[in-house]
Amino acid sequence: MGHDKLRKFAENETFSCLLQPSAQELLADGYFHLRDHAVKGRWHERFGNANPIVLELGCGKGEYTIALAERDPSRNYIGVDIKGARLWKGAKYATEHALPNVAFLRTRVEFITAFFAPGEVSEVWLTFSDPQYRSENSRLCSPLFLERYRSFLKPGGIVHLKTDSRFLHEYARAVCAVNKLRVLSCTQDLYNQQVEVQPVVREVQTFYEQLFLEQGYPITYLSFVIDHEGPFVSPRDPEEFDSKAWRAAEGPRLLFGHDSAETRRQKLHGEL
């Protein structure tokens, strides 16, 4: 491990805005019987107010969480990611700028229900999540994850999905359709289509969003309400969601000057 990572990990321990729970304690009773963390149901005490709580899952370095919080001090924002070296940047910024409405949680998103009580969260942001082409249950907008969100979202709680992946966008649309979820806003090209969205949706951009915009790829956006009763189901019919077709429709991507994993796969299979 590099010295810079070790330095960041050490400094992370000093940030009061960063919670780093022990996975071993959460999993003491097994993966399917997570132990609740002490912070569950007590986030408002941690923030010192009763303002609405908004999560960003897979927040990376936290720049989106920070930007949302700076624009809206009337809400509390929590960025969640498993990578401590990434979270260091957001936690350091929040600490140095004394942002009272920002927190970060270092944990796997699969463990999210161990940290939030029913009705404790108002909104969830999914920003440029991994499309997880091969594993539906790993997609952060899959029925499995929507069930997790429903366990802690307030009635009428909103999920925002912002992504460059048309595959993931269309999958999420299909999930909304088969479960009859109320869609609030939907666009396949956020910056070139006239669709009504909250100003912050266009005003705040992640690092990867800027990267893909520079490459000329459209950014999609979908927001919907978790207002479904009963179990969530997956789109199974190709007419509901044609996985192969939408995966083939993904264009080539460059990450830091190199092909992305999906672009390499498509080239290997002669799809590009």
Catalytic residue selected from 29, 36, 130, 189: 130
Question: Strand pairing partners for 57?
Answer: 80, 126
For the question of residue 189 being annotated catalytic, the response is no
Q: Are 115 and 39 contacting, i.e. CB atoms less than 8 angstroms apart?
A: yes
- What token pair was written down for 105? 């949680």
What is 127-148 written as a DSSP string?
A: ES----SS-GGGSTTSHHHHHH
The closest alpha carbon to 153, from 78, 46, 225, 59, belongs to: 225
- What token pair was written down for 85? 């070296």
How far is Cα of residue 29 from the mean position of the Cα atoms in its chain?
27
Q: Are 59 and 80 contacting, i.e. CB atoms less than 8 angstroms apart?
A: yes
- So which residues are the catalytic ones? 130
